[in-house]
Every structure is written in C-alpha cells, then in structure tokens.
C-alpha cells in the first residue's frame, strides 16, 4: 500500500513538473503537492486509494471483535485530508471559493496566473499518471462541478485546447 501510493505520487509529480517547465513555472512544479507527503494527508490518501477495509455492517455481521479502521472512518479521514489539501494548495480551484457568511452566497475569486497554470498542469499530470491523458475530455465531463471565476474559466477554456 505504501509503495503503490508513493509510486503514484512520484509519477504524478513528475508529469506536473514537466508540464510546469513547459509553461514557465518550474518552481511551482518542484513545490507541487508537497503537502501530500505530510502524515495528515499521506496516511488518509494511502488508505483511501490503496487500502482494503471492512464496512461497519461487515464488522457487525462477520467480525464483531474487530477494532481497526473501517471504510467509513477511512472516508471521513480522507475527506478531512482532501479539505486540508485544497486549503493549503492555491492551485486548487476550491481554494478560491468564498462562502459569504451573511447571505450564504458563493463567490468565485479570480485565480492568479501562476496558480491557474499550476492547476492546469495538475490536471494534465493527474491524467497522464492515471493513463487518461485527454485533459479537455476530463474538463468537459466535470465542467458543471468545477466552480471558477468567469475570467479564470475563460483562460482555462482558451488554454486547455493547446
């Protein structure tokens, strides 16, 4: 489990680094996703993507004395790690979402150029690492769930076709 996740992270970081070199932000390519190596992200990600854990129902039925992690606790830990990752890494569009406390309105702030470039490099690197290199197809499939400032969206949609 440890080495499978390490392998994926290193491949992903390599592809993102190469893309960052291509678009002129090499330092961000080096620093990209370093928080994934922190235990608070590493362990939940590794367990979520590569672990095999029983559900609470399976434990109740077949393994009543089991006291380890469950699928449900792994999901909870992963969601917290993912939230931490988004809030620590400016290349995630979620970092730029503001929920207004007064009227519960969602505001999409514009992303600075270097972070939107890194976001696109991240999407490309993730696709290559997973053997799905068509970033435009991935974006088109996910367009309704990706919340972006209109300026950022226009830049992404112009640039992603290159």
pLDDT digits (tens, 9 = 90+) for 77-118: 999 999 999 999 999 999 999 988 888 889 999 999 999 999
What is the pLDDT at residue 72? Answer: 93
Which band of pLDDT confidence, cut at 50, 70 and 90, is reported for residue 66?
confident
pLDDT above 70: percentage of residues in the chain: 99
Copy the structure tokens of residue 88: 């620590």
Section 145-162 average pLDDT:
93
Question: What pTM did the predictor assign?
Answer: 0.89
- The kind and range of the H/E element at 107 are strand 106-108
Section 130-134 average pLDDT:
93
Residues 6+ apart with CB under 8 A from 102: none
Lowest mean pLDDT among 33-42, 49-58, 131-140: 49-58
Radius of gyration, CA atoms only, the chain? 18
Which band of pLDDT confidence, cut at 50, 70 and 90, is reported for residue 28?
very high
DSSP letter at 49 equals H
Asked whether the beta carbons of 55 and 71 are under 8 A apart, the reply is yes
What is the pLDDT at residue 162? Answer: 59
For residues 84 and 24, what is the distance between their CA atoms, to the nearest angstrom?
27
How much is the mean pLDDT over the chain? Answer: 93
For residues 5 and 40, what is the distance between their CA atoms, to the nearest angstrom?
15
């Amino acid at each position: 489990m440890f080495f499978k996740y390490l392998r994926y992270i290193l491949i992903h970081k390599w592809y993102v680094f190469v893309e960052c070199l291509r678009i002129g932000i090499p330092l961000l390519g080096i620093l990209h996703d370093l928080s994934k190596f922190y235990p608070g992200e590493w362990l939940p990600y590794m367990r979520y993507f590569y672990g095999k854990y029983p559900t609470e129902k399976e434990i109740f039925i077949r393994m009543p004395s089991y006291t380890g992690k469950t699928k449900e606790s792994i999901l909870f830990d992963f969601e917290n790690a993912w939230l931490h990752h988004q809030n620590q890494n400016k290349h995630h569009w979620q970092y730029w979402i503001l929920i207004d406390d007064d009227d519960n309105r969602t505001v999409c702030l514009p992303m600075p150029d270097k972070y939107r470039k890194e976001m696109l490099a991240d999407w490309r690197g993730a696709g290559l690492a997973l053997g799905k290199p068509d970033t435009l197809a991935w974006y088109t499939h996910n367009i309704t769930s990706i919340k972006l400032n209109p300026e950022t969206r226009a830049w992404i949609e112009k640039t992603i076709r290159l």
